[in-house]
Amino acid sequence: MTVSRQFKGSHPILQEFVLRCKNFADLLYDEVLILDRDYNVIMANQALLHNKGWAADEVAGRRCHEVSHGSSEPCQSPNTPCPLVEALASGSRSRVTHIHRDKQGKECFEDIAASPISDENGNVVGIIELMRDITEEVELRKALEQRNADLATLNSIIVAGGKGLTEEKLLTYALDQILENTGMDAGWILLREENSRSLRCIKRLGVSEEFIKAILSLPTDKTLCGLAATKGQVAMVDNLSQDPRVTHPTITHEGLRAFMCVPLRADSKLLGSISVAGRDPASPQASRLQQLVAIGDQLGIIVANVRLNSSLRQYAHELEEARRRREQSASVVSHELKGVLAVLSGYTQLLRKRLESQLPQADLGKGLEIINAQTNRLNRLVDDMRDVSAIESGRLTLVKARCDAVGLSRDVIQGQQALTQKHILLLDSSEEHVEGEWDCDRIRQVIDNLVNNAIKYSPNGGEVKVSIERRKDEVLVSVKDQGLGIAQKELRHLFHPYARVHKEIKGLGLGLFICSGIIKSHGGRVWVESQEGKGSTFYFTLPLR
């Protein structure tokens, strides 16, 4: 307990108060200061001297604002109301939190409760202040508030993830939230291209397009955000513009200083990276980096879910389409069957009647021809249905032998040309023979089907060209026509069973599916290029070895 030299001259009531509480005050952990009306320190307890590291004579006889704020004037201001002034003015208790500095200049928070000491007439003769260092509490509260804000950010991103947003919208929202939470000025999210090491920027905020272009122009292992996206490395830099690893002038000229970058990760799979940066010199804090890492991990999982959902939706849509086509096809097939059977039964009855009658039999041949054609149609239908089910169940068997793609194409062209005069069928091959080990009947079936389609879907005639080109390990066969062509949006489903585009022209929608099944089971590829109204080219390859 330190009692100042002003003690003697102070108000007797104040003196009596000091004497009564001095022993008790030294027992307290809280700091106690007794002041007269002129802000003079009349008494300071042990806890105060000890905590502040002051010697008794540094405090005794000085004014409170000199002691705690190092200022010659009372420290009343709108931001730091002085509890002493308030208690003197109001005659009642006052409580505030002040920011003080200890002898090392470290900022500390003080909870100050000032109570007036009054005489028997209610006149305030002095003030007793109880002070408690609440720096730890304040820091804990701040950390807790930050943690809550972090959790709120994370939560809002998780909630957004469940709202069925597109990947781009979700990441844009997340970046907004992250910048708000970290207080950074700029940010960008890079995503890895599927099945490749290259990156694309899905969203940038607060940085120029040139800056992002410069980053993307560099190899991924030469940028911090590239390393985060491809190697999972985390980066935290005080001054990005002066970091020795950053050499591209466009990147340094952007003027970014504090910088953090973390991977966007779904379990062990790296999807990309999130970068945030600030233009003022404040260093990013390690705790902010941890939060960003947590966001990167959560956001990665959400993005993976969004992707999964969208492929599930796509899959469901395709299943629905397939179901719809199958339903349609069932009616098309049964209609086709009924048609054939009606003709067959009509002509058989007709022939029977003719045979039973005594009429001349000269035109029986025509009827038999029709019966024969219908039987062939029926056979083809049955063959197609059998092929479809074999392909769908992966049971298509191939009988491989040496065959020649040029020879097979020539045969098909000759056969099909005999059936049309509106079309000119051409063969284009620089070699007489291009041979491989394939199922000859099946490959003939494919070429026949493609040439037949080229004719069928060129109702105004035109040229149909079959080209054969030997490549390194494969032969490329194409069938090009000048017919109706196919709209872009239809191309994706064209090789699915029962896919039909030109419904005005008769067909079952099985030919291309069967062609594709045959080519794929040979280890080849099949695709189409087409422009509506301009014609189509169907391609397939077959391995030569």
> Which residues form the interface with ligand ADP (CB under 6 A)?
453-454, 457, 481, 483-486, 494, 499-502, 507-513, 536
Please classify residue 469 by burial: count the beta carbons closer than 10 Å to its beta carbon, then call 0-12 exposed, 13-18 middle and 19+ buried: middle
Which CB atom, from 237 or from 494, has the smaller least distance to ligand ADP? 494
Residues 419 and 410: their CA atoms lie apart, in Å, by 15
- Tell me how far apart the terminal alpha carbons of the chain are, to the nearest angstrom: 102
Distance between CA atoms of residues 46 and 523, nearest Å: 91
Structure tokens belonging to residue 180: 């708000």
Min CB(457)–ligand ADP separation in Å: 3
Closest distance of CB 206 from ligand ADP, Å: 50
> Considering beta carbons, is residue 220 or 458 the nearer one to ligand ADP?
458
Residue 479 C-beta: closest distance to ligand ADP, Å = 7
Q: Which is nearer to ligand ADP, 357 or 460 (CB)?
A: 460
Rounded to a whole number of angstroms, the minimum distance from the CB of residue 510 to ligand ADP is 6
Shortest spacing between CB 384 and ligand ADP, in angstroms: 9
- Would you say 118 or 537 has its CB closer to ligand ADP? 537
Q: Find the shortest distance in angstroms from Cβ 511 to ligand ADP.
A: 3
Q: Which is nearer to ligand ADP, 100 or 480 (CB)?
A: 480
Q: Is 415 or 507 the residue whose CB approaches ligand ADP more closely?
A: 507
Closer residue to ligand ADP, CB minimum distance, 448 or 481: 481
Query: Is residue 502 helix, strand or coil?
Result: coil
Least gap, CB of 413 to ligand ADP (angstroms): 15
- Please count the residues of the chain: 545
Choice between 187 and 511, CB closer to ligand ADP: 511
Q: Residue of minimal CB distance from ligand ADP? A: 507
Q: What is the DSSP string of 378-416?
A: HHHHHHHHHHHHHHHTT------EEEEHHHHHHHHHHHH
Three-class DSSP category at 28? coil
Amino acid in the structure at residue 116: P
Residue nearer to ligand ADP on the CB measure, 483 or 524: 483
The values of phi and psi at residue 31, to 5°, are -85, 140
DSSP 338-386: HHHHHHHHHHHHHHHHHHHS-S--TTHHHHHHHHHHHHHHHHHHHHHHH
The conformation of residue 184, written as its DSSP 8-state character, comes to -
Token pair for residue 331?
Answer: 């009616």
Minimum CB separation of residue 486 from ligand ADP in Å reads 5
DSSP-assigned states of every residue in 443-499: HHHHHHHHHHHHHHT-TT-EEEEEEEEE-SSEEEEEEE--S----HHHHTTTTSTT-
Which CB sits closer to ligand ADP, 300 or 511?
A: 511
Provide, rounded to whole angstroms, the least separation between the CB of residue 507 and ligand ADP: 3
| Short-list 78, 185, 186, 86, CA closest to 129 | 86
- Element (DSSP H or E) covering residue 465: strand 462-470
C-beta of 54 vs 495, nearer to ligand ADP: 495
Per-residue tokens: 351: 């022939």
Phi, psi of 43 (to 5 degrees): -155, 140
- Report yes or no: 399 and 536 within 8 Å, Cβ to Cβ: no
What is the Cα–Cα distance from 344 to 379, expressed in whole angstroms? 13
Residue 158 CB, shortest distance to ligand ADP, in Å, is 45
Kindly state the smallest distance separating residue 347's Cβ from ligand ADP, in Å: 25
Burial code of 309-325, b = ≥16 C-beta within 10 A, e = fewer?
A: eeeeeeeeeeeeeeeeb
Q: Which two tokens stand for residue 348?
A: 């058989």
Q: Which two tokens stand for residue 365?
A: 């041949």
In the complex, least distance from residue 327 CB atom to ligand ADP, rounded to whole angstroms = 16
Residue 18: strand, helix, or coil:
helix
Q: Which is nearer to ligand ADP, 404 or 481 (CB)?
A: 481
